Amino acid sequence: MTTSLVPAATSISPLRQRLIADMTMRRFSAETQRNYLRDVGRLASFLGRSPDTASAEDLRRFQIALQEAGLGVPTMNAIVSALRFFFVHTIDRPDLARKLVRLRYPRSLPDVLSPDEMRRLLGATVCLKHLAALSVAYGAGLRVAEVASLKVGDIDSTRMLLRVERGKGGRDRNAMLSADLLALLREWWIEGHRQGILHREGWLFPGQSWDRPISTRQLHRIVVEAARAAAIPKRVGPHTLRHSFATHLLEDGVDIRVIQVLLGHAKLDTTALYAKVAVRTVRAVVSPLDRLALVPREEASPG
């Protein structure tokens, strides 16, 4: 007899418990676990029965239904990732995982703020907590969930690093901590400690209470409101700050493999996308046409 992934009102099914245990063992972030549970739950709702009873034909019909419902390619691929994990690791059915199709799609270039726009956005924040949080996102290139998950103890001022635990894919890494960012975080520590919301063993950016972190939704709202106040017409979200961090480093001549490490990208191809939006890098390249000197140039008149 199979067990449903959808829990009863007062209990969690063994299948759901097993999926959670498999994700926790691999140190998946809380957000990733929520997404995977939701996406496997989509399949259960579609089938009207436990997802571990799915057949190859069921999966085919499910993906067709998702496409007909108008889901975007990134969303559909995210669902495929969740289901592949479920079939491979939780119920040991890799044959079914191979029936799931990932769709290719052209990646659009990310919106990037100029240094002046970035300065205006940070200057438009309404309090020290918001300024510190957005400065971490931009100054260290962190994902929004990574900013929300930071604890006070993750600041390593001796080695000038930020410890990022359980980033994307459950991987830990070190992010850069600049002198100016450290100074700002120290200001925030003094103010937050005075308010009684910052504790040495607590969250760096608490939410509505000191013992819970700020939500990613709240961080998104902070960025949007700051961009609006700064009169920035571009579509801006928390990830825009990360995009800007990488692009500005590339424009300043930082090696792309170093940027890959700082961002925590598993593949260099992902980081290479920023080469397409690094305007100053493109402008610094001398065209081979210019080297031919076909077009006579005006000589500067002596002053």
pLDDT tops 60 at residue 7: no
Told to judge if 151 belongs to the known catalytic residues of this protein, a careful annotator would answer: no
Q: Rounded to the nearest 10 degrees, what angle do helices 179-195 and 128-140 cross at?
A: 150
Of 129, 242, 243, 248, which residue is the catalytic one? 242
pTM for the full predicted model: 0.65
Tens of pLDDT, residues 249-282: 888 888 888 888 888 877 776 666 666 656 655 5
For residues 131-135, give the mean pLDDT: 95
Of 18, 93, 265, 280, which residue is the catalytic one? 265
CA pair distance 232, 238, nearest whole angstrom: 14
Same domain, 148 and 262: yes
Same domain, 89 and 152: no
**Which range among 5-9, 49-53, 130-134, 180-184 shows the weakest confidence by mean pLDDT?**
5-9
Same domain, 70 and 168: no
pLDDT at 252: 83
Told to judge if 242 belongs to the known catalytic residues of this protein, a careful annotator would answer: yes
Same domain, 162 and 276: yes
CATH number of the domain within which 41 lies: 1.10.150.130
Told to judge if 274 belongs to the known catalytic residues of this protein, a careful annotator would answer: yes
Q: Is residue 263 part of a domain?
A: yes
Give the model's confidence band at 65: pLDDT under 50 very low, under 70 low, under 90 confident, else very high. Answer: very high
Q: Are strands 173-176 and 161-164 parallel, antiparallel or unpaired?
A: antiparallel
**H-helix or E-strand containing 176?**
strand 173-176
Helix then strand then coil, % of the chain, to nearest 5: 55, 5, 40
Contacts 24+ apart (CB under 8 A), 268-272: 271/246
Of the candidates 70, 74, 73, 79, the one whose C-alpha atom is nearest the C-alpha of residue 97 is 79
pLDDT at 254: 81
Of 143, 166, 243, 248, which residue is the catalytic one? 143
Same domain, 89 and 120: no
Residue type, 120: R
Mean pLDDT rounded to a whole number for the chain: 85
Told to judge if 248 belongs to the known catalytic residues of this protein, a careful annotator would answer: no
CATH number of the domain within which 208 lies: 1.10.443.10
Of 16, 168, 243, 248, which residue is the catalytic one? 168
Same domain, 141 and 267: yes
> What is the Cβ-side half-sphere exposure of residue 199, based on CA atoms within 13 angstroms?
10
Told to judge if 102 belongs to the known catalytic residues of this protein, a careful annotator would answer: no
Tens of pLDDT, residues 11-45: 688 999 999 999 999 888 788 899 999 999 999 99
Q: Are strands 155-156 and 161-164 parallel, antiparallel or unpaired?
A: antiparallel
The more confident residue out of 21 and 292 is 21
Q: Is the dihedral of CA 277, 279, 280, 281 positive or negative?
A: positive
**Which range among 38-47, 106-115, 207-216 shows the weakest confidence by mean pLDDT?**
106-115
pLDDT at 60: 95
Q: Is residue 235 part of a domain?
A: yes
Same domain, 123 and 32: no
Q: Is residue 202 part of a domain?
A: yes
Of 26, 93, 239, 280, which residue is the catalytic one? 239
Q: What is the domain extent for residue 35? A: 14-97
Q: Is residue 292 part of a domain?
A: no
CA 189: distance to chain centroid? 25
Told to judge if 265 belongs to the known catalytic residues of this protein, a careful annotator would answer: yes
